[in-house]
Homo-oligomer: A and B are copies of this chain.
Amino acid sequence: MQFKGVGKALPELVRTNADIERDYGIRADWIYNRVGVRQRHIATHENNTSLAVDALKRALEDAGMEFGDLDCLISASVTFDYVLPNRSSLIKHAFTRNRDNEIPCVDINTVCTSFITALDYAACQIASGNFRNVAVVSSEIGSKGLNPKSPETFSLFGDGAAAVIVSTTENEEAGVRSYRMKTYSDGAYDTIIPGGGNVNHPKDHPYEQELYSFQMRGPRLLKLANSVLPNFMQELTAESDQPLNWVVPHQASRMGLKLLSGIKTVRNTPIVQTLENHGNCIAASVPLAFVTAVEDGRIQDGDHCLLIGTAAGMSVCGMNLTYATS
């Protein structure tokens, strides 16, 4: 599997810590010191589909391809414009409604690590000869589910989207070297949006900010991540004999990134950090960091990258990947 193109899209509106201090009384320096974010993009006129479409357009342009060159479209996102149809079908509709383009649209959701799981799925499909060119898109608007009364999560999250196009290659060094995911269920309810599904359906539970906002037991999750990540990463990287060039993590939080950087397996490997500028963009975090580092030239052809993240559920998911453009 080679990478033919990458792209990203961010909402027009940037909300700085100074904006948050002015509007919500949460101190700007506290936000930066505690949460690690300086600014985040917040959707106004954009929606999940439009951001995904913009990111995918740029990835197609980068690849020198047209939508019609794709064989499959995968959406790897948590938030959505509509409960149904699925996200990928709406993205495709924005590109073409012609009957001569019938590529399948699949959504894959492992919460914040959806992009990594979807990339593994794409790699399997390409390896088995089912598809030549697959687009994987993550697009997230988490900002509607934030509560200013929870200053830490309110200032942590941002909106954004990123896309990659992956393709067949004869380069045997290219692509997935190892992939691994584990779900640790003692943390299943530590990250949740209680309202909006069937348990607290809008029909029975009218909108109320706390119920419909993201809730996170941060310290419990950090403790859980701390207890499982070192072994997980050791196992994941042990399957490859190549030294790592880059760690591309989910931008969970300042504390999460700090925890990661202390793990022996990656202690000497640079970590791509976009948290300061984008915040935590849920499942779009990993591809946004990846695309940013490819676009600015940090990640080079042949580099070995570790995509890694924790997700609500609570899961850890990682991929050891050789980035190749041929």
Of the candidate stretches A167-175, A183-191, A273-281, A293-301, the one touching chain B is: A183-191
Residues of B within 8 A of A125 (CB): 124
Q: Mark A97-110, 1 if CB is under 8 A from B, else 0.
A: 11101111111111
Q: Mark A110-143, 1 if CB is under 8 A from B, else 0.
A: 1100000100010011001000000000000100
Known contacts A84-B111, A86-B109, A196-B196; is-contact A201 B104 (Cβ 8 Å): no
A147 CB, min distance to chain B CBs, angstroms: 11
Bound CA–CA A186/B125 (angstroms): 26
Q: Does A251 contact B (CB under 8 A)?
A: no
Residues of B within 8 A of A317 (CB): 104
A96 CB, min distance to chain B CBs, angstroms: 6
Q: A109 and B110: CB pair below 8 A?
A: no
Q: B106 and A117: CB pair below 8 A?
A: yes
A123 CB, min distance to chain B CBs, angstroms: 10
Residues of B within 8 A of A313 (CB): 85-86, 88-89, 105
Q: Does A243 contact B (CB under 8 A)?
A: no
As for how many copies of this chain the complex holds, the number is 2
How many residues of chain A are within 8 Å of chain B by beta carbon? 74
Bound CA–CA A189/B97 (angstroms): 11
Q: B182 and A103: CB pair below 8 A?
A: yes
Of the candidate stretches A58-66, A74-82, A150-158, A256-264, the one touching chain B is: A74-82
Which A residues form the contact surface with B (CB < 8 A)? 43, 47-48, 73, 78-86, 88-90, 92-93, 95-99, 101-111, 117, 121, 124-125, 128, 141, 144-145, 181-186, 188-189, 191-199, 201-204, 206-207, 209, 212, 214, 311-315, 317
**Shortest Cβ-Cβ A-B pairs, 8 listed:** A89-B313, A93-B188, A104-B181, A85-B312, A102-B182, A107-B109, A202-B207, A105-B183
Could you list 7 A-B pairs, sorted by A, with CB under 8 Å?
A: A47-B199, A81-B197, A82-B196, A84-B214, A88-B313, A104-B317, A196-B202
